[in-house]
Amino acid sequence: MGKQKAVVLLSGGIDSATTLAIALDDGYDVYALSFDYKQKHKKELKCAEKIAGHYNLKHKIVKIDLSWAKSALTDKKTKIPEKRKKIGKDIPVTYVPARNMIMLSFALAWAETINADAVFIGANAIDYSGYPDCRPEFYKAFQKAAMLGTKKGAESKTIQIKYPLINMTKSEIIKKGMSLGVSYHLTWSCYKGRKKACGKCDSCLLRLKGFKEAGYDDPIEYEGEV
Amino acid sequence: MGKQKAVVLLSGGIDSATTLAIALDDGYDVYALSFDYKQKHKKELKCAEKIAGHYNLKHKIVKIDLSWAKSALTDKKTKIPEKRKKIGKDIPVTYVPARNMIMLSFALAWAETINADAVFIGANAIDYSGYPDCRPEFYKAFQKAAMLGTKKGAESKTIQIKYPLINMTKSEIIKKGMSLGVSYHLTWSCYKGRKKACGKCDSCLLRLKGFKEAGYDDPIEYEGEV
């Protein structure tokens, strides 16, 4: 019997890269799935490609048009907030409506097509931006919908939604990744798609805090001092 | 206070056209949403446009690439079954993995963006093809995921997933639509995208049975005698 297959959502950031390493460590044959949703930080897609290439994985990038969905991550007129004090206390403008649900649904479609038993997502509800679709209760509900709404789930109950990082701090995630040999220099977190990371958006702030607390140097470059 | 808004999934078939008429009858300001997923029966999209135009509605067609998802509706090499005897007893090859979940997720994204309170889908679990994502238990689970995984749902609990046809027979659906003045001559059901409906695929068989039992003539044209 061959390895069990898993679809892993791979944005190209720290969380998804670590999740991918966990899925491989769990023994899955990993199929990486990324999305081009016209995000400003399209640079993360290049990173996703590099990460998938590093492990020599099957990698699919699905184009979805979410340019009409209200979010600072896609709308050129809405500025990405900087140096927010209370990250995670409210839902910020960078929230993309129903994004994780859309991505998970595509992942399920691919999982059914290739007969995979699991879908991994690097959602995290500790050091996070406050998005509702990153909370464990959402994933529990989605798991139920996935079981009831897919052929494979309905027939054999084997499509598991896995979110191994959900209760980890960013520093715990980085420590876990380091122990699995994740190449964090290949990852990208900044919401702005510039040459170097800005060091000021929620995503950069959470990443920097994580590396500092984990006791490692962040291997990527930032604009100015951070 | 203006009307409440609702996003209605509009494939261009009988069920979605009737659901749209129900949403309008309920007093909603309707935003129609259709998908170009490279389905063989792309003719249904033209019908969706005609139906939305008939009511002068806002109408969005989102392109999604599902050509890689295993289904007879998208795969040119897989034949669409004809004259199946036990429609609804098993999950047929025309099932598109996770399709309704993907479509509902996009509908939620649009609902959040325009501040709509409801998403309507014309799913039906009586005279249906046996797809798992047409069953009421799936919609109950999805409703919970939608509440927990969206900003609007999490904050105000007002995104309702509505599936008014779920327990109706095809003939009851047609009778209801007739009472609301649905222009069924604008609808398309056949899985094959030819000039006239084939009269043999599951979708045609269910439609013909529905009109017959409702006591109305089906106003569209079929190939040969049906």
Q: What is the pLDDT of residues A142-177, one digit of tens each?
A: 999 998 888 777 777 778 999 999 999 999 999 999
Eight-state DSSP code of residue B75: -
Helix H or strand E encompassing A17: helix A14-25
Take residue A73 and report the two structure tokens written for it: 């991550």
A78 pLDDT more than 80? no
B93–chain A Cβ distance below 8 A for any pair = no
pLDDT for the residue A130: 73
Identify the CA nearest to A139 among candidates A161, A119, A158.
A161
d(CA B204, CA B172): 17
List of residues 6+ apart from A82 with CB closer than 8 A: A198, A200, A201
Measuring CA to CA, which residue among A159, A168, A93, A83 is closest to residue B151?
A93
pLDDT of residue A85: 67
Residue whose entry in the numeric block shows the structure tokens 């995208």: B193
pLDDT at residue A89, as a whole number: 62
For each of the domains in chain B, give its residue range(s) and CATH number, in order of start: 5-214 (3.40.50.620)
Q: Which residue has the higher pLDDT, B210 or A64?
A: B210
- Give yes or no for residue A134 having a pLDDT over 90: no
**Is residue A157 within 8 angstroms of chain B, CB to CB?**
no
Query: Is A113 within 8 Å of B69 when comparing Cβ atoms?
Result: yes
Q: How far is CA B186 from the centre of its chain?
A: 14
Task: Give yes or no for A113 touching B (CB within 8 A).
Answer: yes
Regions of chain B where pLDDT drops below 50: none
Average pLDDT over residues A108-137: 87
Q: Residue A184: pLDDT above 90?
A: yes
Specify the pLDDT at position B85: 67
Is B112 close to A98, i.e. CB distance below 8 A? yes
Average pLDDT value over all residues in chain A = 88
Rounded Cα distance, A65 and B91, in Å: 30
Residue A90 is predicted with a pLDDT of 66
Whether B142 sits inside 8 A of A146 (CB atoms) is: no
Between the CA of residue A184 and those of A54, A56, A127, A175, what are the distances in Å? 12, 16, 18, 11
CB pairs under 8 A between A and B: 141
Contact B24, B16 (CB under 8 A): no
Q: What is the pLDDT of residue A88?
A: 61
Alpha carbon of residue B129 to chain centroid: 13
- Is A180 at the interface with chain B, CB within 8 A? no
d(CA B113, CA B159): 12
Separation of CA A107 from chain center? 13
Instruction: Provide the pLDDT confidence category of residue A38 given band limits of 50, 70 and 90.
Output: confident
Could you tell me if B120 and B23 are in contact, meaning their C-beta atoms sit under 8 angstroms apart?
yes
ipTM, interface predicted TM-score of the complex: 0.86
Q: What is the pLDDT of residue B159?
A: 87
What is the least distance, in Å, from the CA of B132 to any CA of chain A? Answer: 5
Task: Tell me the chain A residues in contact with residue B149 when contact means C-beta distances shorter than 8 Å.
Answer: 98, 100-101, 132-133, 135, 138, 141-142
pLDDT in the model for residue A9: 97
Q: Check CB contact under 8 Å for A96 and B110.
A: no
3-state helix, strand, coil in chain B (%, to 5): 40, 10, 50
> A187 near A54, Cβ under 8 Å?
no
SS3 B16: helix
